[in-house]
Amino acid sequence: MLDRNEMREMRLLVLERTILLNKLIEKEVSQKISRARFEGLEKLGKQQPNAILIIGTMGEMIPSYLGLCMNMDRSSLSRMIDSMEKKGIVSRRADLEDRRRVLISLTEKGEKYYEILQDIMAEVNASIAAFLDEQESREYAACIKTEVRILKKIDSKLNAKE
């Protein structure tokens, strides 16, 4: 068990990681998305590019899972999905296996946006990766895998308690 100082240090490191990711990646992604508007990508809300990337990666999904992925409450999520549906980016349909459930997926227009956003993410990742040598890239990938493995372990133990 970590002592109080170790826990504080861990919280500060997580905060610093978040700040650096926002500074290095989110800012550049936002700028590239703004520039992409001139190439046919209409103005998207702040959370919508992430939603498109998640839905595009996962495929058809229930809105509550998207909300969980994005840490959004139901009302904000519903407003965002409504807005994306009005723009023709996503569509809703009833689940054939359980009519009470609704599934969301990308439309043809949403798929085009997904491709544009994937290209933007690849550009940003490549520009950042250019600052790392092969060994650093491998170390960083291993670090991320370790972090995800540990977080999954914590998540499964928390779910077991519920």
Q: Are 82 and 48 in contact (CB under 8 A)?
A: no
pTM: 0.80
Measured in residues, the chain has a length of: 162
Task: Provide the pLDDT for residue 79.
Answer: 96
Tokens representing 32 are 């590239």
pLDDT score at 40: 65
The backbone torsions φ and ψ at residue 94, rounded to the nearest 5 degrees and listed phi first, read -75, 140
> Per DSSP, which regions of 8-144 are E strands?
90-94, 102-106
Q: For the chain of 162 residues, list the mean pLDDT of each consecutive stretch of 10.
A: 89 91 82 71 84 95 94 94 96 88 95 92 89 93 94 89 77
Q: Match 């170790």 to its residue by tokens.
A: 6
